[in-house]
Amino acid sequence: MIKGMPPLRCLLTFSAVMEAGSFARAARQLNVTPSAVSHQIRLLEDILGRPLFLRARRAVLPTEDALAYAAALGESFTRIAVATSRFTASGKVLRLMLHSAPSFATLWLMPRLGAFRRRHPDIDLTLFAGHEPASLGDDGFMLDIQYARPVPEACDSIVLAEERIVPLASPAFVAEHGIADVEAIARVPLIHSVRCVVQWDEWIARHAPDVMLSPRSLQFDRAFLALIAAADGHGLVLESDLQAADMLADARLVMPFGPAGERSVAHRLVYRREDRTRPQVKAFVDWITETMAAERLAAAGDPQ
């Protein structure tokens, strides 16, 4: 055993309890008895020298120490998973380690991932999402879909699409508030997507400089949260038509002022030059560029 490291069974039991929310559910997940779970948790608490859960009747609540410890363990388990995937990548099955900006992964990539899998059933894909860019190569990642980031040295990139940053809202919100022109921006709730490359004050300065911004607002630090809020009728959002493509296609969102917006090339697919010839990397690069091109062509005939 590594010096200073608790038994792995204790750590796995602790992680299961934190994930399941109770000793009983963790026991079912691990296929052991609740008393076995309780024993492993008490052993871990003895090793750490502090309680991890507050026990009240049938409920257990994690302490602040438990929450911090679980976060640290989660990072370690993720690195183990990445290392394992990287180690097995030399086997017969092709494995692709992909990292993506969270909103792009949620809004665009996941709904289309089935198409990639059907085209390349021989490639096993691992997808991680995070705002901070991946350390390509060092953590086993081969590709990174980055948002508004400089391209690292020793890497090449592909611009995925030219995007328009435009005001968007649900049809019901437009009807409810009688939105007919940009003057409405002064009186309706605005949704601020704080990571968007263009903010409301910039857009208004370029497209409606005589209009004041409404003081009523909601703020979100992820595009997918801001767009979902807009689709649910909570306000007028300024976001990318690429990220909102599916919501625009099924009319959950509309462009109340038309396509007037700021053009951006914020999303890039980044890879190390030495990895460009890997078959799984080439397969994904070809698939995503072809898919983007086909969707741009289809959207060219869309009156939105």
Residues 190-206: what's their mean pLDDT?
95
Cα distance between residue 164 and residue 251, in whole Å: 17
Residue 211, domain CATH: 3.40.190.10
Of all residues in the chain, the percent with pLDDT exceeding 90 is 63
| pTM, two decimal places | 0.69
Lowest mean pLDDT among 114-123, 128-137, 247-256: 128-137
Q: Is the pLDDT of residue 13 over 80?
A: yes
Backbone phi, psi, residue 117, to 5°: -65, -40
Domains identified in the chain, total number: 3
Q: What mean pLDDT is reported for the chain?
A: 90
Domain assignment of residue 276, yes or no: yes
Domain assignment of residue 2, yes or no: no
- Residues 128, 69: one domain? no
What pLDDT score was predicted for residue 248?
A: 96
24, 52, 83: which is the final residue of a domain? Answer: 83
Cα distance between residue 211 and residue 195, in whole Å: 23
Alpha carbon 34 to chain centroid, angstroms: 35
User: Interior CA angle at 105 toward 171 and 161, to 5°?
Assistant: 75
At 302, the pLDDT band (50, 70, 90 cuts) reads: low
Cα distance between residue 204 and residue 99, in whole Å: 34
Domain assignment of residue 1, yes or no: no
Q: Is the pLDDT of residue 79 over 60?
A: yes
Q: Is the pLDDT of residue 87 over 80?
A: no
Residue 31, domain CATH: 1.10.10.10
Domain assignment of residue 134, yes or no: yes
Q: Is the pLDDT of residue 9 over 60?
A: yes
At 57, the pLDDT band (50, 70, 90 cuts) reads: low
Residues 81-105: what's their mean pLDDT?
78
Per residue in 122-168, pLDDT (tens digit) is 999 999 999 888 888 877 899 999 999 999 888 999 999 999 999 99
- Residues 259, 272: one domain? no
Per residue in 215-235, pLDDT (tens digit) is 999 999 999 999 999 999 999
Q: Is the pLDDT of residue 253 over 90?
A: yes
107: containing domain: 92-159+266-299
DSSP state of 107: I
- Cα dihedral sign for 72, 73, 77, 78? negative
Whether 273 and 281 have beta carbons less than 8 Å apart is answered as: no
CB atoms within 10 A of CB 190: 20
Q: Is the pLDDT of residue 94 over 80?
A: yes
Whether 205 and 161 have beta carbons less than 8 Å apart is answered as: no
- Residues 59, 200: one domain? no
What pLDDT score was predicted for residue 24?
A: 86
- Residues 177, 212: one domain? yes
- Residues 230, 276: one domain? no
Q: Is the pLDDT of residue 179 over 90?
A: yes
